Structure 1
Amino acid sequence: MEGTGLRSDARDNRDRVLEAARRLFSEQGLGVPMREIARRAEVGPATLYRRFPTKQALIDAAFADEMRACSGIVRDGCADPDPWRGLSAVVRDITELNAVNQGFTDAFVSSYPGAADFAAHRAGMLRALTGLWRRAQRAGAVRPDSVVDDLILMIMAGRGLPVGPPELRVAAARRFAALILDSFRASPAAGPLPPPARVSAAAVSGGG
């Protein structure tokens, strides 16, 4: 019985640490000190490090659900036979996902260089998005002088969406996504773009 109680306590401590980490990463990004996470979780630093020896391990565990959600969003968008509809859904859903969790956005665009699992995640997402983007261009839906790097710029820019209550973040994300999609759409009235900023290579390699 004593062993069962200890396992239950350890599980409770782990759950509290993950909940505190998700909340703090969402509010402040990945720069939150581990000691602050321990304090918010009401556990000692030794307990935190026993469960998560590195910050990378904590980030990986805290954002496992978001990584699955992000993968599902891209997978569903790529499966849509209408590439513009699929791309539009990806832009809207990822913008909203990122708006409510600043820490996940930071990890996705490589602000924390130790988040190795995110490098593989980004690389897979970018490969899939590049295929979807090119399909939409071949269909004449996306402006021909745009590149998939512009989508990464959008994700980066989304980090500047307002902080505040979740409903405010979601409303801002939806408005932002609509504006971005309008800029991506092919139009005879669209003016020429400056040369592309190749940010996707930095995202895959783990550069900030």
Structure 2
Amino acid sequence: MNSSAPPGETPGQGTDARLRADAERNRDRILAAARRLYAIEGLGVSMASVAREAGVGKATLSRRFATREELITAVFADRMDAYANAVTAALDDPDPWHAFTGYLHAVCAMQAADRGFADVLTMTFPAAKALEARRTEAYNGFLELISRARDSGHLRDDFTAEDLVILLMANAGVIAATGDAAPDAWRRLVGHMLRSYATPGTEIPPLPDAPTPTALYRAMIRLSRTGPGTA
């Protein structure tokens, strides 16, 4: 019996191509759905929720991404590249203090733009080798930024790389708590922290305006309804 394959294709070749195309479309749908959910709700989103958002079954999701870490790595690969590239750009700045403050603002802004990425920067994923390699690259670059800013006389001698982790944790908490009720509250936090990092007499960027009482009240109402772990 003759095959119904189009001219130029061997039997089964067309079917294989269609299956590969379907698999790629499903992968793209899963990644797009995960990006949407993680950006809004953080990394607490379940794999089942991602599958529903993507319009695929759990089995399809598992075939594309066997573990949560694999999905997170794929979703945030480009953002981790941007995170590592931000420290590279800062190291090219001839002004060590400007480089240091600019980097902190850039990273905290990345967190504010994507709640899922805010979580990624305050967690570790040992099984996600590529993601952790980029994190290590950024960390090593930050150590150099610290050294240069200290040598310039503008950064306190007792500032450590762990202080960045503390800042990112605090910033992630502010972002999660305030949401769209006070979306720029994180800028105020970073402004105050820079004042604590600087040596006396160092020029510091102007302190951003504080959120209005109404905005903070809305954020507190929102937090009371959702809970601190799911704001």
Asked if these proteins are the same fold (TM beyond 0.5), I'd say yes
Residue aligning to 1:5: 18
Q: Distance in 1 between matches of 2:28 and 2:182?
A: 27
Give the structure-1-normalised TM-score: 0.80
Name the CA distance, whole Å, in 2 between partners of 1:176 and 1:15.
36
Q: Residues of 2 paired with 1:54 and 1:145: CA distance?
A: 40
Is the deviation greater in 28-37 or in 77-86? 28-37
2:35 to 5, 14, 22: 22
Unaligned segments of structure 2, at least 5 residues: 1-13, 203-231
Aligned residue for 2:175, secondary structure, equals coil
Structure 2 residue 118 is the aligned partner of structure 1 residue 117: no
1:6-85 equivalences under 5 Å are: 6-85=19-98
Q: 1:155-189 CA deviation, whole Å, 9 max, x = no partner?
A: 11111123434x953x2333332222222111169
Query: How high is the sequence identity, in percent, across the aligned residues?
Result: 37
- Answer yes or no: is 1:185 the counterpart of 2:168: no
* Bigger relative CO (Cα 8 Å, ≥ 6 apart): 1
What is the identity, as a one-letter code, of the residue corresponding to 1:156? M
In the other structure, the counterpart of 2:121 is 108
Aligned AA for 1:26? A
Contact 1:63 1:104 in 2 (8 A): yes
* Number of aligned residue pairs: 187
**Aligned partners of 2:125 and 2:37: how far apart in 1?**
15
Contact 1:30/1:112 (CA < 8 Å) preserved in 2? no
Find the structure with the greater CA-based Rg.
2
Partner of 1:99: 112
Which residue pairs with 1:151 in the alignment? 164
